[in-house]
Structure 1
Amino acid sequence: MPPAMAASTCAAITLNLFRVLQILVALFGVIGNILVLIVIFQARDVLKNQTNFLIANQSAADLFSSLQLIVFQVECFTKWPSLVPGSIWSKLYCFFWQQRLLLFGSYAISTFNLTILSLERYFAVVHPQMYLARSRKRLFAFMGLGTWLLGPIMQITFIVVHVYYKDRECHVRQSAPSIGVAIFLWDFFIPVGVMTFCFIKVFHKFRTIAKIQGNWNTESAQGAPGASFVRSSGFPSPSTAEGSNSGRTVTGNTLQVPTVYQPNFPRRFEKSTARSLQRRNASLTILVVYIAYVVCWTPNQFGFLQYNLGGSIDWGGLFYQIELIMASCNSGINVIIYALRFKTFQTGIKKMFKRQDS
């Protein structure tokens, strides 16, 4: 949503029920995201685990937007002391608060951080060797922090170009449809496209790993008890070659490699499987967060796209109110996903309440 449009929605919202719902949703987002941040930082590995660091960054952005949403809604139906016209505070209010720069900027930060999370999962699963390099891991941390500068670029650009303060009043120039389309592409379409690509590749990789593990399980069941083996394999060899002292024999054009038993392989295989399951669970959790984002924001984003292309919006209508509620829910719904999917979060919450009881 272009920031300038948000100013007109406050006066247009006439359904007090929806205002109350937005405040309740935002309150849940504040409490929930504070809990997420406390649990993650108490785990003491937030700087070592890239996924945890990015989740903490996500919760910080969602917390910031939830706090602003509460203040915004309270401002809509209460009378605040008016600022002195022409003062520096009046100008700051015009550019930063009245046009909702900080609110929609924090929404954009959350979107871009989720995109970085998806890329982090992509490299962790699809390109693990590249991901394990320390420089690459630090890169994701810097990218997560960089979303606070990169995310709000379109909102800042809109305000710089179209908002001005004159005659002690805040004014907004009429923007071209291309500006609204650019905001839609930057804030929604491109991030969703990147995230969709990442998760398609991630789960294609998981399917490949599952097939390989299934083959190992089948072959292990046919081998010696307590041991694992590499089956005989064949590959082209010169027909003139003869057997060597290594125990390999040549039959026709195929080099036969004898079965090799590896007594310690099951333990290594179990560790590899455990790591694979851990990566899969983390990726599934971020996938659910991505799906929730798409569900919550798609109606709002496409609604404003058609508005910027010449359509109309009933600012006080039921459909628009539902769009706002859905978009607001996205800042708090991630907390529910973490509570259902992350054992670390569940354990941290239990420890927190046990300390309070004692």
Structure 2
Amino acid sequence: MVGLAVGAVLIVLAGGSPLEAYGTMLDAALGGDTQLGRLLTGMTPLVLMGLGYAVAYRTGFVTIGAQGHYDVGAITATAVVLGLPLGSSWVAIPVVAVTAAAAGALVGAVAGVLKARLGVNEIISSLMLNYLVFYGLAWAVRKPLANPNGFTPESERIPEWAQLATFPGTKIHLGVLVAVLAVPAVWWLMRSTRFGFASQVVGESPTVAAANGIDVARTVITASLISGALGGIAGAIMLLGSEFRLSLAISSGIGFTAIVVALLGRRNPFGIVLAAALVSGLTLGGQAVQRTQEIPASIGTVVQAVMILTVLVANRIVERAR
């Protein structure tokens, strides 16, 4: 509510009507089948990367590397589809999913191993890995994956047989189903498995965890692998379901937006779904308001930022009250 109130004030200062602006935002997100399809497909990578952050943060592994996981997943998906003679979606999509997840997990594990074995700060290492992967992306779209007939740094369009199928009568691709299945799977992993218990103890106190026989390093590295794999799958889904070609534009900062989703969702898998819907809706709504009312689309970003600050302050107050 605080975020919406601040947004309303900014809309008035920009010369607009808050009621009309928020009405436009709501219509842009839920006003019809097309809008709902955009909302759900926009939510999908945010949900997957948000889940990855939730798993990592539960262990106290404060990574910011989902953008790198996402980018390497998209690079891998492009290389597999364009480089291997798969020829069928029944073969291509499982192969892409496995390889993209493996690539994301590998990048994630680098930061995990550096943290667990050498004590390297994971915020710094994961940020540096984001840059390394981005430079790898820039090289890939100019050299091995470049479109020989193109004028901009991008790959060829992936063939139709490798594109994700959509639900009949909609533009909602099957990647949405992956996110739907991932939510209860991660919830179960965190709540009902030995790893979930170990990750909670490690996150609360690595010293207590070690004293009780929990392998702290192994738990952190496992969390980094899972987080990276989810980010890699998110990148592959975005490529096969929405973008259809690899370019520098795919590295748009969505991995950092997923941090917002994880924090707003309070690292709860089902809360992350609601947060992803809110963030995706605000993004679509901000774009619609800019088109129709000439109000900056950044209004949606400001609302997100205020919401994050509100959640952080509320959490701090609750912790002090305890």
TM-score by length of 2: 0.29
Larger Cα Rg: Structure 1 or Structure 2? 1
Q: What TM-score does the superposition give when structure 1 sets the normalisation length?
A: 0.27
Structure with the higher strand share, 1 or 2 = 1
